[in-house]
Amino acid sequence: MFTAATSYERFMGRWSRQLAVAFAAFAGIRDDDRVLDVGCGTGALTAALLARNPKASVTGIDPSASFLESCRANYPASRFVEGGAERLPFGDREFDASLASLVLAFVPAPSDAITEMTRVTVRGGTVAATIWDHSEGMTMLRAFWEAADQVDPSERPIEAQPSLDRDVINALWRAADLEEVRIEPLMVEMPFSSFDDYWSPFLAGQGPAGLYAAAASEGTREAIARILKARFLGDGPDRPFTIHSRAWAIRGSVPS
C-alpha cells in the first residue's frame, strides 16, 4: 500500500513527522538506548528519536525497499533492515525499546507484532505504539472516505485492522502481559496552503485512500473533490486551511 517514498511524504509523511515528535517524547527514550523502529517507513520516527536523543542507537525495519533506501540515505548512522513486524529478525532482548508508529493498523495480526516487539526488548524496557483515531480523530482520511461513500458506496480497500482503536490496543498490551500500561491522545495540526495541497497527494496511489483515488474514474474523483472542497472551504475561494487530527499513543514495560 505504501511503496514510493516521495509520494508518501507528500501524502502521509508530513503527518507522520509531526506525530513522531510527540510520540518520541511520550515513549521516554534515554540517550544511550538501543531503539527498534518497527515499520520505520521513510524515517519519521527515527528522525524524531535522533533529534531528541542524539546518542541513541536506532535500528529501523520495514518491508518497503524504497522506504529503506530513503532512510539509509537520510540517516546513515542508523541501521535499516527489510522485514515485517510479525517476524522480527533480531535476537531476544536486543533492544531497550521497541516502537511502532502508525504501523499496527496495517499488520494482519497485531498481537503477533506486539509479541515480537516484547521478545526483542530487554526486561524493564519499553514497548510502545501509535495509531490514528480513525473513528473520530483522523479528519483528513475520514472526510475522504465519507465523500467517497456518498459518490460510490461500493467495496473499497481498507486498513488491515480498521477497528483498531483505543480499547483494542489497550487490551492487546495487557494481553501481552506488559506492565505500567499508559495511553494518551496525541494531537496533530496540519496547515494546507490550498485545496490542491490537500487533494493532489491522494492521486499518487499511496495507502488505501490513495489506491482507491488512483483507481477511481475521473468523474468519481471530481465528485469526491467537490464534496471535500465544500467541506473545507465552504462557498468561498480557495485559500489556506488547517486540519486537526488525533492519534492514540500507548506504552508498557516488559515484565522484569
Domain extent listing, the chain: 5-253
pLDDT level of residue 2 (50, 70, 90 thresholds): low
Whether residue 172 has pLDDT greater than 70: yes
Q: What is the mean pLDDT of the chain?
A: 91
Is 230:125 a contact under the CB 8 Å cutoff? no
* 116-129 pLDDT tens trace: 999 999 999 999 99
pLDDT score of 158:
58
* 56-108 pLDDT tens trace: 999 999 999 988 999 999 999 999 999 999 999 999 999 999 999 999 988 98
Is 240:108 a contact under the CB 8 Å cutoff? no
DSSP 8-class letter at 193: S
Q: What distance in Å separates the CA atoms of residue 148 and residue 54, rounded to the nearest whole number?
A: 43
Domain 5-253 classified CATH 3.30.420.40?
no
Nearest-Å Rg of the Cα atoms of the chain is 18
* 8-48 pLDDT tens trace: 777 888 899 999 999 999 999 999 999 999 999 989 999 99
The answer for residues whose C-beta is within 8 angstroms of residue 217's C-beta and 6 or more apart is: none
User: Can you read off the three cell numbers belonging to residue 211?
Assistant: 489506491
Whether residue 209 has pLDDT greater than 60: yes
